[in-house]
Amino acid sequence: MSGFFLTLEGGEGAGKTTALTVISEWLESRGRPFLLTREPGGTQPGERIRELLLDPDTGGLAPMTELMLMFAARNEHMARVIRPGLAAGKVVVSDRFTDASMAYQGAGRGLGRAPVEALSKLVHPDRLPDLTLLLDVPVEQGLARIRGRSGGPDRFEQSESSFMERVRSAYLEQAQLEPERFVVIDAARPLQEVSDRIRAALQERLA
Ligand code: T5A
């Protein structure tokens, strides 16, 4: 597989949607072929799994069920979107990937690292992201940003702040473990500064 695999991670309200626009514009302006995708989702069955996972009416799920659904969607995503995109030499930009499972299910839901690592070995033994941009924002600040958004909170956004704190700490820990893959961006800064930092990271790692 050639191409370049770029993932975007962060807690709730970190500004990933906004960051995706910055990334797309940067890639377009340099004529780099790319595709944007997301997890959970990115394929037709994956989007159906996403609906189930995010819908508050789904109610509580056993953490392991939740993790396996994330990886079921990811397996389709790898097979139908990510691998073909990379094989075609594209920059594949995914809004979340396995680091989200480590943060949300591993740390947030308390499953630990082992099941996440085991499933990653099954689903993508040969491939990790080439670059992961972690948008880091204090939990309360992120939640304040998404409060009042139309449609109401999804299943994850309804979680208590102690859950979100575990997610944030796990992301930062992972970034410390893999400094060559992660770039941590202070997403508490004003939008213009965050955008400049994202462009600088792309220039450094991808240009
Ligand atoms: N999940 C996912 C798991 O539990 N395990 C997994 O393995 C995977 C893959 C769906 C959920 O699934 C979970 C995690 C998630 O809870 P999602 O679709 O990525 O994942 O959902 P969200 O994290 O909720 O992403 P959103 O797109 O809804 O939110 P964003 O992208 O973080 O925030 P965004 O860009 O919409 O910004 C929110 C608001 O803040 C403003 C924006 O304008 C917007 O109004 N904003 C700023 N304001 C001031 N300063 C800044 N720097 C700002 N940046 C953004």
Instruction: Answer whether 20's CB lies under 8 Å from 38's CB.
Output: no
For residue 148, pLDDT over 80 is answered with: no
CATH code for position 149: 3.40.50.300
> How far is CA 6 from each of CA 48, 85, 91, 154, rounded to the nearest angstrom?
24, 12, 7, 25
Domain housing 180: 4-206
16-43 confidence digits (pLDDT tens): 989 999 999 999 999 999 999 999 999 9
Give the number of domains in the chain. Answer: 1
pLDDT at residue 159, rounded to an integer:
81
Instruction: Answer whether 87's CB lies under 8 Å from 159's CB.
Output: no
pLDDT at residue 207, rounded to an integer:
80
What's the gap in Å between 96 CA and the centre of ligand 1? Answer: 10
What tokens does 186 get? 């202070």
Q: Say if ligand 1 is within 6 A of residue 18 CB.
A: yes
Q: Say if ligand 1 is within 6 A of residue 171 CB.
A: no
* Interstrand relation of 182-186 and 4-10 (parallel, antiparallel or unpaired): unpaired
What pTM value is reported for the model? 0.95
